[in-house]
Amino acid sequence: MKPLLLLLVPLAVAVRAPTPSPVWDKEPTAYKKIPFGTPYAEFEGQILLTGCKPATRDHEPGQRTCEGSGFQANGVSVDDVFLFQDDSFVGVSLFFAAEDYEKLREVFLVKYGEPARLETTRVTTRTGTRFDDEILHWDGRKVTVSLERYGDSLERGSATIFLNSYLEQQDKQRQERLKKEAETF
């Protein structure tokens, strides 16, 4: 299951560049007390990382993902996957059981305050069963946080905490790839 999680990290963050909120007094500057932008070499000694791998896709040069040791929050088991761009810590993706979404949502509201945006989408399975997915967004000047009930499946929820500079870079690269693909279409 871990390889599947690692493939989702770039997908989860490359959707759109954030629009910063005017004021967000709980905007994070670090994750687990490790500042964003920390070089990989320094990061490695501060937290247990396993399964570190360089990016395998051509459009991800300079990326490295590492699995963390996971943790518990409000009784919820959370897996964390760290992302480094050019050996600098740019963000983390979190994965948890979708049934625990409400418990983790409580933690995020206490830690980050009220979200800037709430998005509700309808998820439909192959058999036609429908579920309402809730996505909370906190858009800061430097960091964007999101929490989603259903991440990569109906069984797993996800959250992302990423530097806006990284998200903007990913969005720009995605737009460039689409433009090139459209030209050859």
**3-state SS assignment for residue 92:** strand
> Average pLDDT of 96-108?
97
Helix, strand, coil tally for the chain in percent (to 5)? 30, 40, 30
Question: How do residues 71-100 score in pLDDT, each as one tens digit?
Answer: 999 999 999 999 999 989 999 999 999 999
Most confident residue range from 132-136, 167-171, 177-181: 132-136
Closest CA to 162 of 145, 149, 147, 148: 145
Residue 3 pLDDT > 60: no
Higher pLDDT pick, 148 / 171? 148
The owner of tokens 């625990």 is 100
Question: How do residues 23-64 score in pLDDT, each as one tens digit?
Answer: 899 999 999 999 999 998 887 778 888 888 887 665 567 888
pLDDT of residue 17: 53
CB distance 143 to 163 below 8 Å: yes
The owner of tokens 């720009």 is 172
pLDDT of residue 20: 52
DSSP 6: H
Quick one: tokens of 176? 């460039």
* Helix (H) or strand (E) run with residue 84 in it: strand 76-85
Question: How do residues 120-166 score in pLDDT, each as one tens digit?
Answer: 998 888 888 888 999 999 999 999 999 999 988 899 999 999 999 99
Residue 5 pLDDT > 50: no
pLDDT of residue 13: 42
pLDDT of residue 110: 97
Query: How many residues make up the chain in this entry?
Result: 185
Closest CA to 79 of 10, 8, 5: 5
Q: Where are the domains of the chain?
A: 2-183
Closest CA to 99 of 161, 154, 159, 160: 154
